[in-house]
Amino acid sequence: MKKNCVRSFAAMFVSLLLIQNVVHAQTIQTTSVRFSTEILPLLQKQFAPLLKHETGLRLDSWASVVAGSDEGQLVVPFDAGHSLLIQLATQLDERDPLSEAAAAIPRADIERVRRWINEGARNDDSAVPFANATNLLYVSDQSDAMVSVIDMDHNVVVRNIDLQAYGFPPNAKPHDTAVEPDGSYWYVSLIAANKVLKFSRDNRLVGQVDFERPGMMALDPTHDALYVGRSMAAVNPPQRIGVIKRSDMTIDEVDVFFARPHAIAVDPRRDYVYSASLAENRMASVDIKTGDIKLHTLDGPTHTLVQFALSPDGTTLVVGGQLTGKVMFFDATHPPELPLLGTASVNAAPWHPVFTPNGKRVYIGNKNANTVTVLDAETYKVLAVIKGKGLAQPHGAAVSPDGTHVYISNNDLKGMYSPRYRFKGDPHPGTVVVIGTATNKIEKIIEVGRYAAGISTRTMVRS
């Protein structure tokens, strides 16, 4: 194991801490705008004509406003710029029939609503919507230098973490996230900024470490380690994966001896970490305790191995091959050996797989087919292929703790998804599609920032 301990410059880190403390302070202040007397009347009179397409929407209370409509939410607390109320009032194309209603709203009224949202969209008692949410999903919005935080119990965005507010550039490219088992901290990899960041549950930046072109991450829930692969965007990165000590954000690097190590997974029961190459049909089993490495070579044409998923009981490792459309299942019960159990042919470009909590099914997005394939984890058979609005270049995958819903992020770089509204500049929002596992039907589409990529929720510790 090659040690390459990296620490940020003290001055820069102090500066960033000052920035994040300012941002954190915004979340604990009380509002200067009273909802019942200053905001609700404006929504009922001035904004109501803008919202006529929002079926199921009621504008009779704070609770109904923050709940939104059947189509989605109206406000994102602390982020007026990404809240539908302000977008409709300020960003509609002039050709949109609603633009006349938007033009009729006095600027002072728009600014008052904007201030209310930016101060947390609070009620008269200063409560912030969904402040007590526990089942959170973290979504990397790669083209917006932002991370969207979704409450999985209500399927709404409860925060947008603007990384530029913490001093990072607009092209930082957040790519993947990872979350502690108890939700106390979360992590995000920044491809272009060459960093992995650590945030607290209340979104304070508490640590960072340098790592060249970080991509996918895998958190070890029983040890003080976070494993990091290299980004797909990296042409010729070092042939090493990163091992971050989460408690102090120092890092080692481990040689895996193949080009472009991308896929990453960890088995805390057997103390092994797995990596795989984008450029060649090779995988590595790394013994965490000894540092010993065993390389595996796969048959056939170059698969381009995108990402792993390990079954909840740790017995099966699955990975998708972008170029061959193959999903491969490996026996992970006796590492370092990884005998192939079976394969499944799926739609084009299988990306990030996820197991259901019972380990019986695997969901994987097919990036070039705009579908999601459901696989039987025991027979390796295709159970269903899910299609529908919102699936536009599927990327990341996560599952709710109770297994009732699977979440698929979508890049939509080609603008195939038709959003609720078209705004000036025609930006293509990313989406998170919510799939009910009982029916394999799309139940909701959540619009997030541009180029929604890696997503994650709390790492679940199972016996």
Predicted pLDDT at 30:
57
Tell me the residue range of the domain where 383 lies. 140-456
Query: At residue 276, does pLDDT exceed 70?
Result: yes
Q: What is the mean pLDDT of residues 364-387?
A: 98
**What are the tens digits of pLDDT across the range 206-255?**
999 999 999 999 999 999 999 999 999 998 999 999 999 999 999 999 99
Query: At residue 25, does pLDDT exceed 70?
Result: no
- The mean of the pLDDT values for the chain is 93
- Both tokens of residue 300? 């056939």
- What is the rounded CA–CA span in Å between residue 340 and residue 276? 14
pLDDT band at 384 (very low <50, low <70, confident <90, very high): very high
SS3 87: helix
Q: What is the mean pLDDT of residues 54-78?
A: 96
Does residue 350 share a domain with residue 305? yes
How many domains are there within the chain?
A: 2
Query: At residue 4, does pLDDT exceed 50?
Result: no
Region for 249 from its dihedrals, namely left if φ exceeds 0, alpha if ψ lies in -120 to 50, beta otherwise? left
Asked whether residue 15 is assigned to any structural domain, the reply reads: no
Does residue 198 share a domain with residue 108? no
- What is the rounded CA–CA span in Å between residue 136 and residue 148? 10
Which residue blocks in 131-190 are alpha helix, DSSP H? none
Query: At residue 326, does pLDDT exceed 50?
Result: yes
Q: What is the mean pLDDT of residues 398-425?
A: 94
- What is the rounded CA–CA span in Å between residue 33 and residue 116? 6
Does residue 191 share a domain with residue 52? no
Query: At residue 23, does pLDDT exceed 80?
Result: no
Asked whether residue 127 is assigned to any structural domain, the reply reads: no
| Domain containing residue 313: CATH number | 2.130.10.10
- Both tokens of residue 30? 């009380």
Does residue 157 share a domain with residue 95? no
Does residue 180 share a domain with residue 51? no
Asked whether residue 12 is assigned to any structural domain, the reply reads: no
Q: Which of 108-122, 312-326, 368-382, 449-463 has the lowest mean pLDDT?
A: 449-463
Query: At residue 21, does pLDDT exceed 90?
Result: no
Per the CB < 8 A criterion, the answer to whether 169 and 193 are in contact is yes
Does residue 160 share a domain with residue 99? no
Does residue 172 share a domain with residue 111? no
Per the CB < 8 A criterion, the answer to whether 216 and 263 are in contact is yes
Does residue 88 share a domain with residue 174? no
Asked whether residue 322 is assigned to any structural domain, the reply reads: yes
pLDDT band at 120 (very low <50, low <70, confident <90, very high): very high
Query: At residue 322, does pLDDT exceed 90?
Result: yes
Closest C-alpha to 174, from 155, 202, 194? 194
Residues 6+ away with beta carbon under 8 Å from 12: none
- Both tokens of residue 1? 């194991």
Residues 6+ away with beta carbon under 8 Å from 45: none
Does residue 145 share a domain with residue 84? no
Query: At residue 12, does pLDDT exceed 70?
Result: no
Predicted pLDDT at 9:
36
Query: At residue 29, does pLDDT exceed 90?
Result: no
pLDDT band at 95 (very low <50, low <70, confident <90, very high): confident
**What are the tens digits of pLDDT across the range 104-118?**
999 999 999 999 999
